[in-house]
Every structure is written in structure tokens, then in C-alpha cells.
Amino acid sequence: MKIEEKLYDYGIVPVVKIDDSTKAIPLAKALLNGGLPCAEITLRTVEGIAAIKNIADEMKDFCVGAGTVLTIEQASEAINAGAQFIVTPGFNPDVIEYCIGKGIPIFPGCSSPTDMERALSMGISTVKFFPSEPLGGVNYLKAVAGPYSSLKFMPTGGINEKNINSYLSFDKIIACGGSWMVKDELINNDKFDEITTLTKSALKTIMGFKLAHVGINTNSEEEALKAARKFSILFDLELKPGAASVFSGKYIECLCSPYLGKNGHIAFFTNNITRAMQYLERSGFEFNMESLKYDDKGKMIAVYLKEEIVGFAIHLLQNDEVS
């Protein structure tokens, strides 16, 4: 899997400034325990290279990159230490050419259409957009990205749990860099449990799981209509007959014939089904790939888990409303 695809699946790239490389492994484990096996270790301190090496040597499944890379020498040291990708704050052609020559993914910092065009001319398909919020945030990015249909972005700078979904809802963004779950004081004071908690919270935010509806299996259209009508009478809900099911309000669906799940299904919205699938798979869940559904533009819109819970199949639905 390409680095860009991995980062897309994660949605968030923790941007880490580390003052003591011995804390690199506890930090990486805290992120991993929170569900996020990746980090960009910045070279803003002398401990950055050693921190990258510690993680790369001991945690083979952890995706570690180097950030704030300013020179070819730094890029070389980071690559030799085991960095899987390089991030630069600005557009440095020398560093870019060096990384391309080494076959290492590089995300150069871009802040203007000029930078973006230079990136494209050098064969770069994904760039860092920095500093994002001071430059105008996602609205500015949408305004300038239009002409560059093949270019993807990883914005960093001022992004937090409150605004990250507005970024990730823009389909040209693969992931966002953020530091709110890996603040200096948390690392320096060994508050790794808090880092895990903040990481879980961040992932919960970008997944956006919320109940969509409960589907109840019945054996006929008549039985489905009868059941849905009772719910409507009980709770004064609108009755909405359809081709294969009858809804009572928004949350109760009575199916005209049994489908997946012994008793029916429970559907949850998520902000991004692809990302949610990868997130749940990292937690050990599997999906019924035959149940995948796409819209007419090829976008994934629905899928079921393999496992049933007390006779109910679990159904994920794409929610296109930003949480």
C-alpha cells in the first residue's frame, strides 16, 4: 500500500516535537493504543532523528515519517533512520529531487498556486498545505485547488478536533496534520494514557459514527406495513412505504423480506466508509465485501460487517453531512 493510501486511511497524522528520544516508543505505543499507528516526527529538535530510528527499529508496523526537513543532509539522516516519508515546511527543490531520487515519498510545503504548479512539474501528486488556518483554511484551499485536479493535499497548521471534519470533507485532502493529541507537555510529563485518550477522541470525531436506523426483518410486504404502522401509531411517526421496506419515521425500517441478519440490521452513519472500514479492521473486525454498494459516481456508500450482534447485522452508511 502506498504511503498516501495509508495516510488517507488514518485521516490524521500526529505532528510530534520530541525532546527526549527515549520517549519515542512509549509515544508510538500510546498512539497505536488509541488506534492511530502513524506519526510525523519533526526535526525541530536534535532528538528527532534518534526518535525516528527508535520507532522504525522496534515498531515495524508503525508508519513513521520525518517533518520540518530543511536540507538534503536532514533528509538523508531521516531516511537512513527509517523514515517512510518526508515532509518539508516549504518548497525546496533540492530536497524534493533528493527524495525522489531515493524513492521516498515527499510532501513539500505549498502555500500558493505557484508552489502547487512547481510540485506538479516535478511529479509530486500530494503536497503539504502549510500553514493552513493562517492562510485561510479549507475555504482558501478549495478556492486555489480548483485548477489542479490531480493534486492532493495534507493541510497542517491550526487544525484541531473542532475543525478537522470541515477539512476531511473536501475530497482533495488525504489527511490532516495535527498536534493537539501529542502536545509537548504530555510527552515530556509521560502522560501517555492521556495521549491515547485524546487519540481515540480524535478518531471518534473523524469517523462520525451515529445511529442511522434499525432494520427489522419481516416475511412479507403486508407484515412490514402492519409493523411499521404500529410504530407510527405508537409514536406519531410518518409512514413511508418503499419498494423493499417500509419506514416509520427516520429510525425504524421494516423490511418486506428477510435480508442480512437473523432479526434485521442496525445501520450507522459514518463520515467516510473507506476510512471507517480501515479503522474497524485495525480493531479486528471484518466486512462482508459482497455487500459493498456504490453510487453512480463510484463512491462507496454502504457495507455490512461479517459479524452479527444478537441477531442483527451491522450496516455502515455514508453520511455526506459534515459533523
Interatomic CA distance for residues 296 and 143, integer angstroms: 26
Contacts of 17 (CB under 8 A, 6+ apart): 42, 44, 45, 179, 184
CA–CA distance, 248 with 12 (Å, rounded to integer): 38
- Nearest 5°: the CA angle 274, 276, 278 is 75
172: annotated active-site residue? no
Q: Say if CB 185 and CB 17 are below 8 A apart.
A: no
User: Is 262 designated active site?
Assistant: no
- Among candidates 128, 123, 173, 129, which has minimal Cα distance to 152? 173
Range list of H helices, 34-92: 48-58, 72-81
Q: Which residues are 317's β-sheet partners?
A: 269, 302
Chain centre distance of CA 127: 17
Catalytic member of 29, 40, 152, 253: 40
Residue 31 has φ and ψ, to the nearest 5°, of: -65, -45
Catalytic hit among 6, 29, 128, 172: 128
Q: What amino acid is encoded at 33 in this protein?
A: N
For CA atoms 29, 31, 37, 27, the dihedral sign is negative
Cite the DSSP H helix spans in the chain. 3-10, 24-33, 48-58, 72-81, 93-102, 113-121, 132-135, 137-145, 164-168, 184-188, 192-207, 221-235, 273-282
Give the three cell numbers for residue 28. 508510538
Alpha carbons 229 and 248: distance in angstroms, whole number: 7
Q: Catalytic residues, which ones?
A: 40, 128
